[in-house]
Amino acid sequence: MVRLIPRETQFFDMFEEIVRNVTQAATILRDLLLNYQQAHAQQQVQAAVNRIKELERRGDEMTHQVYVKLNQTFITPFDREDIHELASRLDDILDFVNGASDRLLTYKIDNPPAAAAEVAALIVRQAEELAKAVSMLGKQDGILPHCVEINRLENMADTIARGAIGKVFEEEANPVRLIKLKELLEVLETATDKAEDAANVLETVVLKHA
């Protein structure tokens, strides 16, 4: 079995921790959207947004730790620019998950479209695939199928979001609410784009060391 050389496990462990954090935040958002009850929306949204914000701040700290470690390490397990890029792209996912949750609260969205929960569920699935791929970085083998699946999930999210936005334009008479729902769906879909970007970095790492 081919390994990336030299073997430096700390970066691998750090990436696994980052992806776990992303997955946790995405799961909170998905669960909130799946169980959105208007009567208790404000309380539910506030608690979920607060928790996701905490995870987003933690994600920023972990990303910074990767950068610090990168500056302190003479020999890295794979290209320095790819380590930096992977950390940045994973942080981007969390930023947009946080952005979507924040809009629910800030815009006082009382009844988000069902498609929002569908896209959020795809973000969770992408994060789970990223977790599997990152866990294999030390071995290199088996990463590419997870990257392919992440790209497939992004295509699904794009189709769902586009369809939902079209439906909002057809059915929503209130222009302010239309703008709010459109932006929510776009932010969620962008999170899936960022997951695809992270998968592309992983694919680049594998191809460089094949």
**pLDDT recorded at residue 41:** 60
Query: Rg for the chain (alpha carbons), in Å?
Result: 18
CA dihedral 206, 67, 61, 198 (to 10 degrees): -20
pTM of the model: 0.92
Task: Annotate 28-89 with DSSP letters as a single string.
Answer: HHHHHHHT--GGGHHHHHHHHHHHHHHHHHHHHHHHHHHHHHHHH-SS-SS-HHHHHHHHHH
Distance between CA atoms of residues 72 and 128, nearest Å: 30
**pLDDT recorded at residue 185:** 98
Q: Which residues contact 42 (CB under 8 A, 6 or more apart)?
A: none
What CATH fold (topology level) applies to the domain 9-208?
Answer: Methane Monooxygenase Hydroxylase; Chain G, domain 1 (1.20.58)
Average pLDDT, 10 consecutive residues per value, the chain (210 residues): 54 95 97 76 82 97 94 85 95 98 91 95 98 89 94 98 96 94 98 98 87
Residue type at position 147: C
Distance between CA atoms of residues 79 and 154, nearest Å: 26
**pLDDT recorded at residue 29:** 96
Question: Is the torsion defined by CA of 146, 152, 153, 154 positive or negative?
Answer: positive
**pLDDT recorded at residue 5:** 45
